[in-house]
Amino acid sequence: MPITSLVSNPDQYPEYIWRNGENIPWQSAMVHVNAVGHASVSSVFEGIKAYYNSEQDQLYVFRLEEHMKRFIESARIVRLGLSYDSQELVAATLMLLKANQERQDVYIRPWCFVEGIVREQIAPSGTKTEMVIDSWSFNTQMLTQRGCSCCVSSWRRIDDTSMPPRAKVFSNYHNSRFATIEAKQGGYDWPIFLNDRGKVTEGPGACIAMVREGKLITPNITSGVLESITRATLMQLAQDVLQLPIEEREIDRTELYVCDELFFMGTGWEILPITTIDGLVVGDGKMGSVATKLDQAYHDIVRGNNPQYLHWLTPVYK
């Protein structure tokens, strides 16, 4: 059951979207067609999830402040003018979710792009921007048996000296698109990238971890991966909940062929086990015990059912 979309129903949308300091009707949030191409080049975004707890009648946003901090860092790296600080963006997110009276699982996407019709293909540093926060409902696959097939892509992962993966920008995802098209044409669900040194980096939209010789091992940040908040979360949970040793290091391609478990981890995909890699079965070909236990722990935390980690949650309704 590979993940194919973050959208539960593309035909449904919320009543409001946040734009430049206020909630406006979703259907009124328009830009001119001549601005769209530049927006997709000169723009940064963030992916955040909020989970609804029906027993508590509460919507919890997971690690909201950390996501907004990363969003601002992305804007700084690509030198976009951003006139909001992290606390203002946190407040704006909560204002939007309240206005939409969200009582379901919600994906939240803040994004910042060059304002207006820009004729120059390369927007100058510090160019004035628009700030938007969008949201939509999604269906989680947590607490279900799932898995996907992967191949190692012939496309190389972008690096810090070309298009820094540390910055979460739309243009970086052309790299992911090329590799995903290749993977699907080859009969696989998703690709895994190597970097210019031939070491494992990540997938097209999530980081990666393997279980081998009793350790949870994941590529280090300088391998060419996004500084993933979900990655940091699951590394901590592996230590706290499973008492697994953690290693951050370079990973060879062939290590993927002999590991006990392999899975993606990210806000959008949560935990997605990889059950085959380049046609070889990983473990017993099913969602492994480490992924299953981490999945349960992650679920309990984001739903607000584990008081030990409530500091990671921002309640919408107080």
pLDDT at 40 over 70: no
Of all residues in the chain, what percent carry a pLDDT higher than 70?
A: 96
Q: What is the mean pLDDT of residues 27-40?
A: 75
**Beta strands 148-156; 190-194: pairing state:** parallel
Read off the amino acid at residue 263. Answer: F
Distance between CA 91 and CA 35 in Å, rounded? Answer: 27
- The number of helices, as runs of H, and strands, as runs of E, in the chain is 7, 16
What are the extents of the domains in the chain?
16-137, 148-302
pLDDT in the model for residue 207: 98
Q: Which residues contact 55 (CB under 8 A, 6 or more apart)?
A: none
Amino acid 122: pLDDT: 76
Question: What is the model's pTM?
Answer: 0.94
- Summarize pLDDT for 55-87 with one digit per residue, the tens: 999 999 999 999 999 999 999 999 998 999 999
CA of residue 38 relative to chain centroid, distance: 23
Separation between Cα atoms, residue 210 and residue 69, nearest integer Å: 28
148-302 CATH pick, 3.40.50.970, 1.20.120.160, 3.40.250.10, 3.20.10.10: 3.20.10.10
Could you report the per-residue pLDDT of 198-211, keeping only the tens digit for each?
999 999 999 999 99
Tell me how far apart the terminal alpha carbons of the chain are, to the nearest angstrom. 36
Which overall architecture, per CATH, does domain 16-137 show? 2-Layer Sandwich (3.30)
Q: Cα angle vertex 229, ends 281, 78, to 5°? A: 110
Alpha helices in 259-306 (DSSP H): 289-302
Q: What is the mean pLDDT of the chain?
A: 94
Q: Is the pLDDT of residue 177 over 80?
A: yes
Confidence grade of residue 297 (pLDDT, cut at 50, 70, 90): very high
Q: Is the pLDDT of residue 50 over 90?
A: yes
